[in-house]
Amino acid sequence: MTEDLLTIDWSQVRPRRAAAGVLVVLVAFLFVGAAGTVGVTVGLAAIFVTAAAGDGSFRDRVPGMISFTLMGAAIGGLAFWSVDSVLAIAAILGGATFLGTLAAAYGPVPARRGLFLTLWALLALLLSSVDTSPWTAALAFLVGGIAAIVMTAIRLAISKEDPATDVDPDEEEAADPAATDEKPDIASVIRGSLGLFAVVRTVSVVAAVFLGYWWFSSYPLWAAITVIVVVRPVASESLKIAVERTLGTAVGVGLALVIAHVLPKSDVGIMIAFLVSAFLMLAFMNANYTLFATFLTSTIVFTERLVQADAFEAGWQRLLATAVGAIIAIAAIGIGILSRPREE
């Protein structure tokens, strides 16, 4: 297991793409003029749209980036609208999880977009407050998405960096046999094994949301974060992989909390930590999932700190919520394994 944790596919490391994403975030923060909720929303939109771009020419990438930007704006608005209702929060995150999981039936790039769309729904719920209107949140995501599209066009015009093999090896096999060259219709996907897995994953996320609000009032969504990061719709899913991803998530939480003690009151320091984590997340996204989970989780922690002064308090609650989410995730993966059709 240790060997798998440390194995990095260096051919899939993307430093230039990561640098472009971080540059868009910096420009977005300067444009907005602050790192509050609106500025962070613009920055996260830039990161996620850059990560969800896929591969190939700009003409190949731009339709997916535009659709992701529009869906992200809608989800962000709904998340900020639902700030006062746990039932609405569970419904929005559950719906995003279900649709994001089904996206794996259409190939590795849609699967990646589904993952990031689900993560954005979760982050939007973390950022939502009564001080920011849903329309403002939706517009902020649109601005960040447009900035990412423009930066991608510029980057591809001056660089031939991204080869056509820019696909996470762990995503090459979707959980449903319908994921072939011929795109299946949504009804057949829902009826298939991927549809069943999507139900299991969605129920797990919703359960994590309710348990989080019941047990962890300071960080109610952290159990759900772990479930979303750990449980992915790939045919090679196993309990060993779940342990690796859980470890990455826990390390990300611990890493951010350690840095918090070094820079507890420094907004500039937290901004730098956020940008470094986002860079490493984008760079290692396809090279090693455990590292990706580590830097993704630390990025989420720093995101909270940029909009909440007390985001580093009660670190033990965050770690305990992560452990609860890990238990739910491993149980969900076990159910998924047992429910797969046996090969003849």
Q: Is the model more confident about 171 or about 99?
A: 99
Residue 310 in domain: yes
Domain count, the chain: 1
Residue 213 in domain: yes
Q: Is the model more confident about 99 or about 334?
A: 99
Residue 42 in domain: yes
- HSE (CB half, 13 Å, CA atoms) of 215? 20
Helix/strand/coil for 238: coil
| Category of 56 on φ-ψ map: left (φ > 0), alpha (ψ -120 to 50) or beta | left
Domain that holds residue 241: 2-339
pLDDT (average), residues 158-169: 55
Query: How many residues are listed for the chain in this entry?
Result: 344
Residue 177: pLDDT band (50, 70, 90) is very low
d(CA 76, CA 299): 18
The C-alpha angle with vertex 83 and arms to 78 and 86, in degrees rounded to 5, equals: 100
The tokens 């990061």 sit on which residue? 229
pLDDT (average), residues 136-145: 90
Least confident of 4-18, 87-101, 320-334: 4-18
Which value, to the nearest 10 degrees, does the dihedral of the CA atoms of residues 266, 224, 121, 57 take?
90
Q: Does the pLDDT at position 343 exceed 50?
A: no
- pLDDT at site 164: 45
Q: Does the pLDDT at position 217 exceed 90?
A: no
Residue 313 in domain: yes
DSSP state of 171: G
pLDDT (average), residues 49-55: 82
Q: Is the model more confident about 156 or about 142?
A: 142
Residue 264: pLDDT band (50, 70, 90) is low
Q: Does the pLDDT at position 201 exceed 80?
A: yes
Q: Does the pLDDT at position 344 exceed 90?
A: no
- pLDDT at site 19: 85
d(CA 40, CA 26): 10
The C-alpha angle with vertex 173 and arms to 171 and 175, in degrees rounded to 5, equals: 100
Both tokens assigned to 47 = 């990161």
pLDDT (average), residues 23-29: 76
Torsional sign, CA 318, 68, 135, 267: positive
Q: DSSP secondary structure string, 243-276?
A: HHHHHHHHHHHHHHHHHHHHSSS-HHHHHHHHHH
Residue 344 in domain: no
Residue 285 in domain: yes
Q: DSSP secondary structure string, 211-236?
A: HHHHH-SSSTTHHHHHHHHH---BTT
The torsion angles phi and psi of 174, rounded to 5 degrees, stand at -80, 165
pLDDT (average), residues 23-35: 69
Residue 3: pLDDT band (50, 70, 90) is low
